[in-house]
Structure 1
Amino acid sequence: MPSSPRALALVSLALLICCSSPLLAHAQTPAAHDVCAGLATDDACHNVPEALRLKLIGIPTILVSSVIGVCLPLFAKSVPALRPNRNLFYIVKAFASGVILGTGYMHVLPDSLASLGSPCLPEKPWRQFPFATFVAMLAAVFTLMVHSLMLTFYNRKKKGHDAGAPTPSSAAVGNLESTEPEADWHSHGMALAKPGDAEAGKMQLGRNRVVVQVLEMGIVVHSVVIGLGMGASQSVCTLRPLVAAMCFHQMFEGMGLGGCILQAEYGTKMKAGLVFFFSTTTPFGIALGLALTKVYQDNSPTALIVVGLLNAVSAGLLHYMALVELLATDFMGPKLQGSVRLQFICLTAVLLGVGGMSVMAKWA
């Protein structure tokens, strides 16, 4: 990713947190503290040793599920039916995109609404204005801006490299054109494509890479937040179903990200880095929550506001990426537009993905 768009994204996120600091200070009122203290009840679900055991089980199982999910599409080249130009790949990708869409609407945004609407926070200003949906909306627009700028920087960088590259001689071009098309395509990639086709291919490749980077940013933020909540929780009634639900959640979400990584045509090192960050963020969040168990209180006003704002940002990003960059791009593309049957099959796959995450929202 170019350094300028990445710096812009990080600075903007920092500004969002910094701008909310007056609200954080305002939230720490005695009245809110009393209300929140009244909600903290000790029941049969509170079991510290059993909760610790579940968390220690959850860290490796979620890690393995994440690795399996994100790596499955990366090995699709060895399975002819799962290659990016085949129908089955589009169907699987539609299902995974539905999972990402369902994650944003059914998991991340409701968590943000619950955090920022908590009775632990004062009524003014938190329940007088829909901060969660407002921040999610701004995050979606911000994602569009970052996506556009990243694509601009990428295209300028590619044009700079292309301008410095030597122009092939007419004899070399003639030799390329005289070879067998199928064999030369595999050996030279875009060598036989027309200039316009080659340029469009480069543009599409740059767009695919930007999609991967922006999508991973949103998934990582959400994964750390939910892992932190799991690590700090001492309720076995919450953790038991949550560990199993998170395994399925990470596997399916990883499939969506893995399909995008495959289309981005990254090298081995970049693929390994993306797989590593996706797979380790939730376990890292759980470990961080374990380390901060005595300090971090998920019902404190500061924690509620920070987690609520981060979830709102992640929700807006996931909504934009799932609808605009994944689903709309495929459904409006030539592959699905050329087959009504394939459109309906992919739509069914999207509904299955959304439905599965909706059912899972009962536990996670």
Structure 2
Amino acid sequence: MADADSSAVNCGSNGRVDTYMGLRVASIFIIMAGSTFGALFPVLARKSTWLHVPKSLFDFAKFFGSGVIIATAFIHLLAPGLEALSSECLSARWHDYPYALALCMLSIFSIFIVELVAFRWGTQKLANIGKTHDAHGHDLGSHAAHGPEGVSESKTVEASKSEASSDIEAASPKHNHVFDHNVLTQVIGVGILEFGVVLHSVLIGLTLAVDQDFKVLFVVLVFHQTFEGLGIGSRLAYLELPRQYYWLQIASAVLFGMTTPIGIAAGLGVRTTYNPGSATGSIVSGVMDSLSAGILIYTGLVELLAHEFLFNKEMLHASNSRLTYALCSMFLGCAVMALLGRWA
């Protein structure tokens, strides 16, 4: 029985797959279409002047996407990472310690340090810019710094403040330092989120290309990538970037749409030698899945849950019905993605 079990495990480098080749090639374009649509539609719909999407639908997409990302972290990344790094093909040293959980924890703290340093550096830079502007009288702060020097000038100063403030908000929001800080926070958060999702997407594309049970995994991944794209796209859509940086949202959505097809194409190219169940394949996928899980766990719990529900004044003061709607949308996204984990 032991010999039969050991022979059933293919730990070698031979992973040749020749079944469903036409469908495997077609999956590159089918999954590209689904994932790109999921990521790009929310971005284009929110900026569109002719496509009037109700705000409630955007809220659904945003919170549904949050649930998708959290479920992806635990069900589609951490669980496969644990399984890969406990493979029978690995040496005994890999079984002496929970490396997948340790790598996940390392990833969480690494992302925290990166964000902490980035925020401190960005805040200092914005403060320096603000001081420079105030010194030369180019910003609203210069008016406030000087203050009204007499009773007769108070109304004039207040009027100039109001006029300058409205001009800044309407015509040039990039001079508002609070706005800049919020943009920095959003860009870093979404950038970290996309980095983790991109690593995951390339790996599952590579796995799909060489998987023997292709049909079931293919169908599941079409929905998987579309929902995951929706999660990314809804976050990108809510980035309040200056108009000249709008292209970043489009480029990020397209990048996500390309990652899984790139993984599939690479997998088809190495299908004769790559075996995801081999020792090398298990180590690579296990390490990458565990690191990506840490990224998405941190992003999902801190950037999405905490910032959207606990630290968001709008949500704290929202009606019970709106809060319930947001929570149900998030739980639905989590449930759907967790259910897909039954097959992929």
Q: TM class, shorter-chain normalised?
A: 0.7 to 0.9
Aligned to 1:276: 254
Aligned to 1:69: 38
Contact 2:40 / 2:254 at 8 angstroms: preserved in 1? no
Superposed, which structure 2 residues align to 1:131-210 within 5 Å?
131-165=99-133, 166-168=136-138, 174-175=159-160, 177-178=162-163, 185-189=169-173, 198-210=176-188
Aligned to 2:61: 92
User: Aligned to 2:28, which of 37, 59, 62?
Assistant: 59
Deviates more, 1:249-258 or 1:154-163: 154-163
Superposed, which structure 2 residues align to 1:330-345 within 5 Å?
330-332=308-310, 333-339=312-318, 340-345=320-325
Contact 1:69 / 1:253 at 8 angstroms: preserved in 2? yes
Structure 1 segments, 4+ long, off by >6 Å, are: none
Structure 2 residue matching 1:90: 3-state secondary structure: helix
Structural RMSD (CA) = 2.9
Aligned to 1:257: 232
Contact 1:36 / 1:299 at 8 angstroms: preserved in 2? no
Aligned to 2:337: 357
1:248 lines up with 2:223 in the alignment: yes
CA distance in structure 1 between the aligned counterparts of 2:164 and 2:103, rounded to whole angstroms = 56
CA distance in structure 1 between the aligned counterparts of 2:59 and 2:190, rounded to whole angstroms = 17
Larger relative contact order (CA 8 Å, sep ≥ 6)? 2
CA distance in structure 1 between the aligned counterparts of 2:340 and 2:203, rounded to whole angstroms = 18
> Aligned-pair distance for 1:155?
2.6
> Aligned-pair distance for 1:172?
9.9
User: Aligned to 1:316, which of 294, 306, 309?
Assistant: 294
Aligned to 1:348: 328
Structure 1 residue matching 2:19: 3-state secondary structure: helix
Contact 1:98 / 1:354 at 8 angstroms: preserved in 2? yes
> Aligned-pair distance for 1:292?
1.1
CA distance in structure 2 between the aligned counterparts of 1:159 and 1:87, rounded to whole angstroms = 36
Contact 2:122 / 2:181 at 8 angstroms: preserved in 1? no
CA distance in structure 2 between the aligned counterparts of 1:36 and 1:103, rounded to whole angstroms = 31
> Aligned-pair distance for 1:288?
0.7
Give the structure-1-normalised TM-score: 0.77
Structure 2 residue matching 1:363: 3-state secondary structure: coil
Give the structure-2-normalised TM-score: 0.82
CA distance in structure 1 between the aligned counterparts of 2:77 and 2:308, rounded to whole angstroms = 24
> Aligned-pair distance for 1:174?
4.2
Aligned to 2:191: 213
CA distance in structure 2 between the aligned counterparts of 1:212 and 1:305, rounded to whole angstroms = 28
CA distance in structure 2 between the aligned counterparts of 1:199 and 1:178, rounded to whole angstroms = 18
- Residues 45-92 of structure 1 show CA distances to partners (whole Å, capped at 9, x for unaligned) of x9944332222121111111111111122121335555xxx5543332
Structure 2 gaps, min length 5: 144-155
Aligned to 2:78: 109
Structure 2 residue matching 1:257: 3-state secondary structure: helix
CA distance in structure 2 between the aligned counterparts of 1:202 and 1:251, rounded to whole angstroms = 31
Structure 1 gaps, min length 5: 1-33, 192-197
Superposed, which structure 2 residues align to 1:33-52 within 5 Å?
37-40=7-10, 48-52=17-21
1:239 lines up with 2:214 in the alignment: yes
- Residues 304-328 of structure 1 show CA distances to partners (whole Å, capped at 9, x for unaligned) of 1111011000011101101110121
CA distance in structure 2 between the aligned counterparts of 1:58 and 1:224, rounded to whole angstroms = 14
Aligned to 2:148: none
Contact 2:70 / 2:297 at 8 angstroms: preserved in 1? yes
- Residues 199-219 of structure 1 show CA distances to partners (whole Å, capped at 9, x for unaligned) of 433322211011011111101
Aligned-residue sequence identity (percent) comes to 28
> Aligned-pair distance for 1:156?
3.2
- Residues 184-209 of structure 1 show CA distances to partners (whole Å, capped at 9, x for unaligned) of 84434477xxxxxx443332221101
Structure 2 residue matching 1:72: 3-state secondary structure: helix
Quick one: structure 1 residues 273 and 163, their matched pair in 2 at CA, closer, same or farther if it must change by over 3 Å?
farther
Q: Supply the AA of the counterpart residue of 2:330.
A: V
Aligned length: 314
CA distance in structure 2 between the aligned counterparts of 1:346 and 1:130, rounded to whole angstroms = 36
- Residues 276-318 of structure 1 show CA distances to partners (whole Å, capped at 9, x for unaligned) of 3211111101111111112211121111111101100001110
- Residues 106-157 of structure 1 show CA distances to partners (whole Å, capped at 9, x for unaligned) of 11111111111111123x2222321111211111111111121222233333
Q: Supply the AA of the counterpart residue of 1:99.
A: V
Aligned to 1:7: none
> Aligned-pair distance for 1:230?
1.4
CA distance in structure 2 between the aligned counterparts of 1:39 and 1:178, rounded to whole angstroms = 73
Aligned to 1:195: none
User: Aligned to 1:127, which of 69, 92, 95?
Assistant: 95
Aligned to 2:305: 327
CA distance in structure 1 between the aligned counterparts of 2:182 and 2:289, rounded to whole angstroms = 30
Q: Supply the AA of the counterpart residue of 2:9.
A: L
Contact 1:136 / 1:315 at 8 angstroms: preserved in 2? yes
Q: Supply the AA of the counterpart residue of 1:127.
A: H
